[in-house]
Amino acid sequence: MKPEQDAYGREVYDFYLGEPATEIIEREDGYVGTSGGPAAYFAPYAEWSPAQQEAIGLAHGRCLDIGCGPGRICLYLQEKGHEVVGIDNSPLAIHTAQLRGVREARVMSITRASRQTLGVFDTIIMFGNNFGLFGNAARARWLLRRFAGMTTRDGRILAESRNIYETTDPDHLAYHEWNRQRGRMSGQVRIRVRYKTLIGPWFDYLMVSPEEMAAIVAGTGWQIGRMIEGEGSYTAVLEKV
C-alpha cells in the first residue's frame, strides 16, 4: 500500500499522537458514513464489548491477530503471557502497533498468511467484524482451509461478524438488493476509507448472518462450536472438525 493510500493507518497514527481523528467510510454506491472511529481500535480490555471479553477468554497458546490495527488485541494477549503475531495491510497501523509495544507485528494481507510465512498457531482472532476481511464466500472457504493447515489439532478461530439483515435502513436494504442482482452476497460490501486528504483502495468486506457463516464454513475443516451474541454483532467460535 502506498503512503497516500494508507488513510486508515494515518488516522490511527494521528490518534496515537493525540490528534482528533474521524474515520469516513465510503461505499461503492455513494453512501458515506463514519465508523466508531479510532478510539475503538485503541480501547483497553475494560472498554471492550462483553461479547469480545467473553470470546478472548477462549484464546489459547500461540495467537494470530488478523487485521490487528494499532494492536489492542495483541497487547492484551501479550500481557496474559501469550505469544502473539499481529498482521495488517496498513504499514502505518503496524508502525503504530510497534510503537505501542506489540512485539511481533507485520505488514501482511490476509491472503499472504500461511504456515510458511507465519508458522503454526493455536488461536486465530478476527475481531472488529474482521471475518469481513475474507472478502467473499469463495475466498473465505479457500483461506479457512489454509487456516486449518496452519493451526494445531485443537486450534480455534474467534471470528466476529455483523448480521446485516438486522436493519431497516432503506439505503442498506437497497444496496443488499443491488448486490443480489449482481450475483453477490447481500453483505458483500465494497468500501474504502477516507481520512483528511487520503483515500484508501477499494476492498470487499463480507458481513454475513450466522446461517451464511455456517454454510461458508462447512467442508473447510472447521465447524461453529458456539456463538457469542453481542450488540449489533456476534462472535463465532470455530473449532476443528
Residue range 86-143, pLDDT digits in tens: 999 999 999 999 999 999 999 999 999 999 999 999 999 999 999 999 999 999 999 9
> What pLDDT, on a 0 to 100 scale, did the predictor assign at position 217?
98
**pTM of the entire structure?**
0.96
Helix (H, G, I), strand (E, B) or coil at 48: coil
Which letter does DSSP use for residue 204 in this model? E
State the Cα angle at 108 between 84 and 77, rounded to 5°. Answer: 15
Domains in the chain: boundaries: 50-190+202-240
Among positive and negative, which fits the CA dihedral 151, 153, 158, 164?
Answer: positive
Query: What is the pLDDT at residue 164?
Result: 93
pLDDT at 194 over 90: yes
> Domain 50-190+202-240 is classified in which CATH homologous superfamily?
Vaccinia Virus protein VP39 (3.40.50.150)
Quickly tell me which residue has 461505499 as its cell. 27
Extract the C-alpha cell encoding 74.
495483541
In eight-state DSSP terms, residue 100 is: T
Range 211-230 average pLDDT: 97
Question: What span, in angstroms and rounded, lies between the C-alpha atoms of 189 and 180?
Answer: 11
Is the pLDDT at 36 greater than 90? The verdict is: no
